[in-house]
Amino acid sequence: MQISDTLLAELEELHPRQRTAVLHDGNVVLRAGPGSGKTRTLVARIAYILQTQISAFRGVACITYTNAAAEEIRRRVLRSGVRAEGRITCSTVHAFCLNEVLRAFAHLTGQPAPQAGQVLSKTATEVLLQRCFDQAGITETLAQHRVPQSTRIRRALACGETLDSFDPREVQAARLYEEQLLVRGEIDFEAMVTRAVRTVREHEHVRDILRARFPHLIVDEYQDLGGVLHELVVALRDLAGITVFAVGDTDQSVYGFTGADAKYLTELAAREDFRDLELEVNYRSGQDIITAAEAALGLPRGRLAREGAPPGDVNLEQVEGGLEDHARVACDLVEQAQSREVSPEQIAILYPARGLLLDAVQRELTRRELDFRHEGDDKLPAGSLSRFIQRCASRAVTNYQIHVAPDTDRADMLRRTQAPSLAALARALTTLRTDAQLAPLSSRLSLPRALQMCLDPESLYPADAPALDWLQHLRTGLALDEVAAAHPDQDNTNSLDALTDLCSSKDLLLQELARGEEVIGKVLLATYHAAKGREFDTVILPGLLKGLIPRDIPDRGNWRRPTETELAEQRRTFYVALTRAESSVNLIVGPGYETKNGYWISRGPSDFVIEMARRLFPKEQT
Ligand SMILES: Nc1ncnc2c1ncn2[C@@H]1O[C@H](COP(=O)(O)OP(=O)(O)OP(=O)(O)O)[C@@H](O)[C@H]1O
Helix H segments across 463-606?
Answer: 467-477, 480-486, 490-505, 510-514, 564-578
Q: Kindly give the distance from the C-alpha atom of residue 95 to the centroid of ligand 1, in angstroms, as a whole number.
A: 26
303 pocket-lining for ligand 1 (C-beta < 6 Å): no
Instruction: Note the Cα 571 to chain centre separation in Å.
Output: 19
Q: What is the pLDDT of residue 470?
A: 92
**Does residue 617 carry a pLDDT above 70?**
yes
Best mutation site among 18, 36, 43, 573 for ligand 1, i.e. most ligand atoms within 8 A of its Cβ?
Answer: 36
Closest CA to 271 of 251, 244, 232, 249: 244
Q: How far is the C-alpha of 200 from the C-alpha of 204, rounded, in Å?
A: 7
Instruction: Note the Cα 399 to chain centre separation in Å.
Output: 26
Q: How far is the C-alpha of 209 from the C-alpha of 109, rounded, in Å?
A: 13
Cβ atoms of 616 and 579 within 8 Å: the answer is no
Q: What is the pLDDT of residue 140?
A: 82
Q: How far is the C-alpha of 46 from the C-alpha of 25, rounded, in Å?
A: 13
Closest CA to 511 of 397, 345, 350, 395: 397
pLDDT band per the 50, 70, 90 thresholds, residue 205 = very high
Q: Kindly give the distance from the C-alpha atom of residue 616 to the centroid of ligand 1, in angstroms, as a whole number.
A: 26
Shortest-distance atom of ligand 1 to CA 580: 26
Please report, for residues 99, 233, 302, the alpha-carbon distance to residue 90 in angstroms, rounded to integers and kept in the order given. 11, 15, 33
**Does residue 418 carry a pLDDT above 80?**
no
15 pocket-lining for ligand 1 (C-beta < 6 Å): yes
Q: How far is the C-alpha of 248 from the C-alpha of 257, rounded, in Å?
A: 18
Best mutation site among 40, 45, 278 for ligand 1, i.e. most ligand atoms within 8 A of its Cβ?
Answer: 40
pLDDT band per the 50, 70, 90 thresholds, residue 68 = confident
Q: How many helices (H) and strands (E) does the chain have?
A: 26, 18
Q: How far is the C-alpha of 175 from the C-alpha of 132, rounded, in Å?
A: 9
Q: Kindly give the distance from the C-alpha atom of residue 570 to the centroid of ligand 1, in angstroms, as a whole number.
A: 24
Could you write out the three-class secondary structure of 239-251? CCCCEEEEEECHH
Shortest-distance atom of ligand 1 to CA 34: 26
248 pocket-lining for ligand 1 (C-beta < 6 Å): no
**Does residue 243 carry a pLDDT above 90?**
yes
Q: Kindly give the distance from the C-alpha atom of residue 37 to the centroid of ligand 1, in angstroms, as a whole number.
A: 3
35 pocket-lining for ligand 1 (C-beta < 6 Å): yes
Q: What is the pLDDT of residue 514?
A: 82
**pTM summary value:** 0.85
Amino acid identity at 577: A
250 pocket-lining for ligand 1 (C-beta < 6 Å): no
Q: How far is the C-alpha of 63 from the C-alpha of 535, rounded, in Å?
A: 21
38 pocket-lining for ligand 1 (C-beta < 6 Å): yes
| Cβ atoms < 10 Å from Cβ of 593 | 25
32 pocket-lining for ligand 1 (C-beta < 6 Å): yes
Q: Kindly give the distance from the C-alpha atom of residue 167 to the centroid of ligand 1, in angstroms, as a whole number.
A: 43
Shortest-distance atom of ligand 1 to CA 534: 27
| 3 state SS of 553 | strand
DSSP-derived secondary structure letter, 89: E
User: Atom 23 (ligand 1): residue with closest C-alpha?
Assistant: 35
Q: How far is the C-alpha of 500 from the C-alpha of 381, rounded, in Å?
A: 10
580 pocket-lining for ligand 1 (C-beta < 6 Å): no
Closest CA to 461 of 397, 402, 417: 397
Does residue 550 have a cis bond before it (omega within 30 degrees)? yes
Highest mean pLDDT, choosing among 61-70, 345-354, 394-403, 493-502? 345-354
Q: How far is the C-alpha of 85 from the C-alpha of 74, rounded, in Å?
A: 9
Q: What is the pLDDT of residue 413?
A: 62
pLDDT: which is higher, 115 or 415: 115
Average pLDDT score over residue span 106-125: 85
312 is in an annotated binding site: no
Shortest-distance atom of ligand 1 to CA 252: 25
Q: Kindly give the distance from the C-alpha atom of residue 581 to the centroid of ligand 1, in angstroms, as a whole number.
A: 12
Q: How far is the C-alpha of 543 from the C-alpha of 549, rounded, in Å?
A: 8
DSSP-derived secondary structure letter, 3: P
13 pocket-lining for ligand 1 (C-beta < 6 Å): yes
Q: Residue 554 class from Cβ within 10 Å (0-12 exposed, 13-18 middle, 19+ buried)?
A: exposed
Instruction: Note the Cα 95 to chain centre separation in Å.
Output: 14
What does the mean pLDDT of the chain come to? 90
39 is in an annotated binding site: yes
State pLDDT tens for residues 533-556. Answer: 899 999 999 999 999 999 988 776
| Cβ atoms < 10 Å from Cβ of 205 | 10
309 pocket-lining for ligand 1 (C-beta < 6 Å): no
Q: Kindly give the distance from the C-alpha atom of residue 211 to the centroid of ligand 1, in angstroms, as a whole number.
A: 30
pLDDT band per the 50, 70, 90 thresholds, residue 215 = very high
| 3 state SS of 14 | coil
263 is in an annotated binding site: no
Reduced DSSP (H G I as helix, E B as strand, rest coil) percent helix, strand, coil of the chain, to 5? 50, 15, 35
Please report, for residues 421, 424, 425, the alpha-carbon distance to residue 428 in angstroms, rounded to integers and kept in the order given. 11, 6, 5
Q: What is the pLDDT of residue 620?
A: 65
**Does residue 410 carry a pLDDT above 70?**
no
312 pocket-lining for ligand 1 (C-beta < 6 Å): no
User: Atom 26 (ligand 1): residue with closest C-alpha?
Assistant: 34
Q: What is the pLDDT of residue 377?
A: 55
Q: What is the pLDDT of residue 493?
A: 87
619 is in an annotated binding site: no
Q: How far is the C-alpha of 392 from the C-alpha of 389, rounded, in Å?
A: 5
DSSP-derived secondary structure letter, 138: -
Average pLDDT score over residue span 51-66: 91
249 pocket-lining for ligand 1 (C-beta < 6 Å): yes
pLDDT: which is higher, 504 or 569: 569
